[in-house]
Amino acid sequence: MNSSLDQVVLNFDKGSLLLLNLCIAFIMFGVALELKLAHFRLLFRTPKPIFVGLFSQLLLLPLATFGLIHIINPIPSIALGMMLVASCPGGNVSNFYVAMSKGNVALSVSLTAFSSVMSVLFTPVSFTLWSKAYAPTADMLHSIDMDVWDMVIKIIWVLVIPLIVGMTFGEKLPELTKKISKPIKKLSILIFTSFVVLALKKNFDHFLAHISAILLLVFLHNALGLISGFGLSTLARLSSPDRRAVTIETGIQNVSVALVIIFDFFDGLGGMAFIAAWWGVWHLIAGGFLSYLWSKKTIVP
């Protein structure tokens, strides 16, 4: 694979980057509107599916990604992008897809909540650990000034604080929350999709030059996430609704967080940015298709 993407950077002005940060915070605010403390208490009532889901998303997916990278040997910037995506928490549309697939929505929402909060440490630590364990990406990180604690603070600002604000808003103003929850989710997805389209459009020549490799790698990576989630939950003998929730939560990643990190800490490094941006498009397609298939099947305990 051509290594030119290791030198390509996707430049955006400060206004665009500020808009991206606000967009991510807005998305998490929308997700948090439907979160309740009961979703966190689910850990104590039914701990097994929660632990299986978190293990699948936070540990198994990064490990499987590391294995995939060793098999296909992508260029360092693309490998970094794959590792970062795998280290991110669950995506904001996972709960909708789980509901569509007749899965356990309460489990899905709980996993999204837990993974989002835990991502404050898990995302930077997991990404740094796996990146330094692979020689080509370790060499690239040596030339990049990346402070793990700065990344922690960034995740707190764009994920945790909006999560707390959204939960508080939903608790204090339940009637208003019912009215604005769905429109906010639709608007946030539209804004994020628009940013991804703009990023690809402004750098279309570079994207076009590497499109075949990027499409294939994201397809394989996303399929690996879905298969890992389904395989682990099946081995753990979870119920069919729980398996569907864990599968979708593992295959739907919050790539918006990845893009914030890529532009703030890696100056929009080409391979990383293209992988994360296309992940943001593809996991919606793959997750929607899988959910549609499951919605047509009868739940088997």
Q: What is the DSSP letter of 92?
A: T
User: Per residue in 10-32, pLDDT tens?
Assistant: 665 566 667 777 777 877 887 77
User: Per residue in 142-193, pLDDT tens?
Assistant: 767 677 788 888 888 888 888 888 888 888 888 888 888 778 877 777 777 7
Q: What is the pLDDT of residue 262?
A: 87
With a cut of 50, list the residues of the chain below it in pLDDT. 1-2
Q: What is the pLDDT of residue 300?
A: 61
Q: What is the pLDDT of residue 199?
A: 66
Q: What is the pLDDT of residue 1?
A: 46
Answer whether residue 118 is part of any domain.
Answer: yes
Answer whether residue 19 is part of any domain.
Answer: yes
For residue 236, give the H/E element and its range.
Answer: none
- The distance in angstroms from the start CA to the end CA of the chain is 45
> Hey, what are 174's tokens?
């339940």
Q: What is the DSSP letter of 9?
A: B
Q: What is the pLDDT of residue 2?
A: 46
What CATH number is given to the structural domain containing 206?
Answer: 1.20.1530.20
Tell me which residue range forms the domain holding 206. 13-295
Answer whether residue 256 is part of any domain.
Answer: yes
Answer whether residue 2 is part of any domain.
Answer: no
